[in-house]
Amino acid sequence: MADEEIMEVAFKRTDGGWIFKAPSPWLVGPAPHYIVNDAQKAAIARRLRRNKAINVAVIVILFLILGFMVARMPEFPLEVAWYVAVPVIIVLVGLGRYVAVRPLVAGLPRTSNRITFSDQVRSGAAYMSLTRSVVFFALFAALALFQPLRIFSIDASGFHVRPTVDASDVVPIAILSAAFGVLVIGLAVQVLAKLKRRGTAE
């Protein structure tokens, strides 16, 4: 089920119910945590599932608009479209999740207990299948390798920035490649752990 993944990473069992890590309106910083019962958990998960579908539609529409702009305006660099799209997507998705669940958590008791990032990573890893982990690993590895290939060429004398690459684009593209690289490392650890568990089970 689509909402099972949401439950895995946003909820954690505790005495008398569940801890729910709610989206923060500020996108960064500590997120509020609430105590919810089974019925509240199910209602929140349904709302998050609906919001997830809306977010996918918004992202597709945004990329279609940007693709149209790039195709119609060759002077509009693809890098600029990417740098514009990513912050807009992050803000829209984050605020959309906050607005979606805000009416459901208003008035609920808060808790000092926390669902940490490592808790969420472990829960997501437990939910994600080996096949899906491998697919995401291959995708992000390709993206991580593609970025340096866009910047550098190599010959007998070493690495060189490609003549078609503007010097101001080198650092942002390198940062993007590093971000994908971090995801690749995390997914590699996840895949290896799943393979080890599978081998132990056999």
Question: What does the pLDDT read at residue 2?
Answer: 42
| Residue 54 · residue 96 · CB < 8 Å | yes
Question: What does the pLDDT read at residue 6?
Answer: 54
Question: What does the pLDDT read at residue 24?
Answer: 85
| Residue 61 · residue 67 · CB < 8 Å | no
d(CA 159, CA 129): 38
d(CA 182, CA 176): 10
Residue 164 vs residues 76, 79, 110, 145: alpha-carbon distances, Å = 15, 13, 54, 18
- How many degrees, rounded to 5, is the angle at CA 172 between CA 168 and CA 176? 155
Residue 92, both tokens: 């829209």
Mean pLDDT across the stretch 119-140? 77
d(CA 23, CA 29): 10
Give percent of the chain with pLDDT exceeding 90. Answer: 16
> Is the predicted pLDDT of residue 4 greater than 70, yes or no?
no
| Residue 174 · residue 151 · CB < 8 Å | yes
d(CA 164, CA 12): 50
pLDDT single digits (tens) 20-59: 999 888 877 788 999 999 999 999 988 988 888 888 888 8
> Is the predicted pLDDT of residue 155 greater than 80, yes or no?
no
Which range scores top for mean pLDDT: 8-22, 118-132, 188-202? Answer: 8-22
Question: What does the pLDDT read at residue 126?
Answer: 67
**pTM (2 d.p.):** 0.65
Mean pLDDT across the stretch 83-112? 87
Residue 157, both tokens: 């004398």
- Mean pLDDT computed over every residue of the chain: 79
Mean pLDDT across the stretch 146-155? 73
